[in-house]
Structure 1
Amino acid sequence: MKRWTLLAFCCLLVIFTMAGCEKKAKETAGKNEHVEKKKPERKQQPFQNVYPLTEIATNHKTDARPIGVMINNHWKARPQSGLHKADIVYEVLAEGGITRFLAIFQSEMPEIVGPVRSARDYFVDLSQGYHSIYVFHGWSPKAKEMLTGGTIDSLNGLKYDGSLFKRVSFRQAPHNSYITYKNIIKGAKQEGFALTDKIKPLPFLKKEEIKGDKAVSVLVTYNRNEKVNYTYHKARNAYVRSSEGEPTIDRETKTPIEANNVFIVEARHHVIDKKGRIGIDLVSGGNALLVQNGVARKIKWQNDRGRIIPVGTGFIPGKTWINIVPADPGLEKIVTIQ
């Protein structure tokens, strides 16, 4: 009898053990199944392209043809529209001691740009350094001669006033001519201009390669009425611009205007006519100050097929403002660094 009891006990023990193993196997299988169903982490794919004038990485196409727009900088024209989207902005004196902007757009375009102002020959040359579609409203005699020669793709507000170019009601002429990006493209298509191009990149450096004197604030004095200040913001590694103590902002979005590179170059200026128009030597090169990454370096500049670039060095990725100042009195008396 005891033998049969022992046998029955052993059988029950085997059954319970097998059941426990089966349950454990199912639990393990369930866990494994859960692990197998878990989605693998996606690795961030490298960007396919780099914008040639900012070296900002992107997956978008980067062959959009540059567009150069003349932008008014009279105090009655401030704040302007669209400057925050420009890859490069040249600030250069025109007659009357007032500076004017040439904004080069390539990686992005604002909805509206302006106020659009008249052309000068040296701005035409600078625009052609990027093979830009040149957008302006009016011209000097020398600029007119260049732009009517049939070799430069351009849109003139004198021809398209009221159609592609619109006059706004909140400003008076000549500070009230504006154009939209859509109308620039519309006009370019009407004129048969190419909208894509193979663009030569600017020279760029890595951030860690830059050394120089500390430059938290840089003041550029064109004259007693034209003073531009750039203040460094370390978190954004950019210089925020102000003019005559007022922040430079975008009129529509209120976006502060800032630059990752501030390139100040001196060039010979001379008056060429009774109206005070000036000629500027943008060919010979000369002294320059390159401000970036919180430091300033004294270097030289050169003209590389129409582009004003630093000699023996380069820019850091981002937006660039180029201030061209008179060689007399020169950088030492025009620029203040703190």
Structure 2
Amino acid sequence: MNKWAVAAAAVLLLLSGCNNNKETSTKPKEKEKVVDKVVEKEEQKQEVAYYFPLTGVKSEAQIDGRAVAVMINNHPKARPQSGISKADIVYELIAEGDMTRFLAVFQSQKPGNIGPVRSSRAYYIDLAKGLDALYIAHGYSEEARKLLESNYVDNLNGMVYDGTLFKRSSDRKAPHNSYITYENILKGVEQKHYSMDQTPPSFTFMKEEEKGNITGTEAMSAMVSYSKGGISNSIYEFDAASGKYKRFSGGDQTVDLETNEPVLLANIFIIEAPHQVYDEVGHLNVDLKSGGKGYLLQMGRMNEVTWENRNGRIVPVKDGAEVPLVPGQTWVNVLPTKPGITQSVSFEAQ
């Protein structure tokens, strides 16, 4: 009996030791699992980022707020313009003859002073509508007036607010001297009971680290010609240090009048679209819905693409997919199909 008792005790001690070993071996693993979960949650927090919808630039806080689209004068007497360096996107199209105007769209930055503000055309209104932007102009063509007075887009016009929300500069002569501040835009919004909560639809952007992988034809500079007269022609030059394109017009670099800050562009999107004169004044209809040929310049490279109007956004497309933009500001040149971009745009590799 004593022998059996001793044997039983030995077995119990052995089992107890095994259990203790199991407990000690499992406890560190459980702690490791908890630590892994904490690290995973921290990594997930770090991965969460917000991006401005029109530039793709990262933000520390959630992005909201409506875009503001302003008609800006591009007559030589209106240069340099105010606020232009802070525009997320600029659309450049012919107003009449060979003179272009800009539709400068602001959302990620809010310049103090913007202008000179110029009169509206229907196709610029459509571009603003596509981004659900508040539309700012001073004057209008007859076709544009009908759209604005029908509340096709929320808008503020200098024909109504000249001398109140819109101010005239004494440094320039009319019609090159109408300006509006961002503060007065917000005052107008309050007066007309507009909402500024609608965030614009986002474009497709590549990740910052992907822009070094862009391929295509080398295009260190490009000349965009709107006419033989050259009054609205522009030149873009790639700056390798910043990874951006500088813009020049009339021999001068495009800078902001208020700050002397240069316009630096991550994307130059050049497209052709049908233009048709419809009255004796020379007003145009511009087809921004049918799509067509395009060039996309990024990081000193050019790629041939097509363009499409996708729910109001003019986007570059290749093989049916939207081509991602480099994070940053974009300039869109819209040229007539006659003579077309092949004849109107030239590139230099170096």
Instruction: Provide TM-score, normalisation by structure 1.
Output: 0.85
Segments ≥4 residues shifted beyond 3 Å: 43-48
What CA distance in whole angstroms lies between the structure 1 residues aligned with 2:110 and 2:302? 29
Secondary structure of 2:342's aligned partner: helix
**AA of the residue aligned to 1:268:** P
1:113 Cα deviation from its structure 2 partner: 0.1
String of CA shifts for 1:226-252, please: whole Å, max 9, x gaps. 210000001111100000211111001
**AA of the residue aligned to 2:58:** A
Partner of 1:337: 347
Partner of 1:322: 332
Of structures 1 and 2, the larger Rg is shown by 1
Moved more, 143-152 or 215-224: 143-152
- Stretches of structure 2 lacking an aligned partner (at least 5 in a row): 1-42
1:45 Cα deviation from its structure 2 partner: 5.4
Partner of 2:221: 217
For 1:117-156, list aligned pairs within 5 A. Answer: 117-156=118-157
Partner of 1:253: 259
**AA of the residue aligned to 1:333:** Q
1:275 Cα deviation from its structure 2 partner: 0.3
- Stretches of structure 1 lacking an aligned partner (at least 5 in a row): 1-42
1:209 Cα deviation from its structure 2 partner: 4.4
Partner of 1:40: none
| 2:245 equivalent among 235, 239, 244 | 239
**AA of the residue aligned to 1:187:** G
Counterpart check, 1:55 vs 2:56: yes
Secondary structure of 1:186's aligned partner: helix
Partner of 2:297: 291
8 Å Cα contact 1:116/1:137 also seen in 2: yes
1:197 Cα deviation from its structure 2 partner: 1.2
How many equivalent pairs are there? 297
What CA distance in whole angstroms lies between the structure 2 residues aligned with 1:242 and 1:71? 17
What CA distance in whole angstroms lies between the structure 1 residues aligned with 2:311 and 2:49? 28
8 Å Cα contact 1:47/1:59 also seen in 2: no
**AA of the residue aligned to 1:336:** S
String of CA shifts for 1:295-322, please: whole Å, max 9, x gaps. 0001100011111100131211000000
For 1:19-168, list aligned pairs within 5 A. Answer: 48-168=49-169
What CA distance in whole angstroms lies between the structure 2 residues aligned with 1:49 and 1:85? 19
1:190 Cα deviation from its structure 2 partner: 1.1
What CA distance in whole angstroms lies between the structure 1 residues aligned with 2:268 and 2:198? 26
What CA distance in whole angstroms lies between the structure 1 residues aligned with 2:338 and 2:244? 29
8 Å Cα contact 1:228/1:242 also seen in 2: yes
What CA distance in whole angstroms lies between the structure 1 residues aligned with 2:91 and 2:200? 18
1:199 Cα deviation from its structure 2 partner: 2.8
1:91 Cα deviation from its structure 2 partner: 0.5
What CA distance in whole angstroms lies between the structure 2 residues aligned with 1:186 and 1:61? 24
8 Å Cα contact 1:47/1:58 also seen in 2: no
**AA of the residue aligned to 1:217:** S
1:208 Cα deviation from its structure 2 partner: 4.0
Secondary structure of 1:124's aligned partner: helix
Partner of 1:230: 236
Moved more, 59-68 or 287-296: 59-68
| 1:264 equivalent among 259, 265, 270 | 270
String of CA shifts for 1:236-280, please: whole Å, max 9, x gaps. 111000002111110011111121000000011111110011111
What CA distance in whole angstroms lies between the structure 2 residues aligned with 1:314 and 1:327? 25
Partner of 2:10: none
String of CA shifts for 1:53-85, please: whole Å, max 9, x gaps. 111111134111000000000011000000100
What CA distance in whole angstroms lies between the structure 1 residues aligned with 2:257 and 2:94? 22
Secondary structure of 1:332's aligned partner: helix
What CA distance in whole angstroms lies between the structure 2 residues aligned with 1:315 and 1:132? 20
Secondary structure of 1:222's aligned partner: coil
What CA distance in whole angstroms lies between the structure 2 residues aligned with 1:178 and 1:96? 24
Q: CA RMSD in A?
A: 1.6
Partner of 2:183: 182
8 Å Cα contact 1:73/1:99 also seen in 2: yes
8 Å Cα contact 2:67/2:199 also seen in 1: no
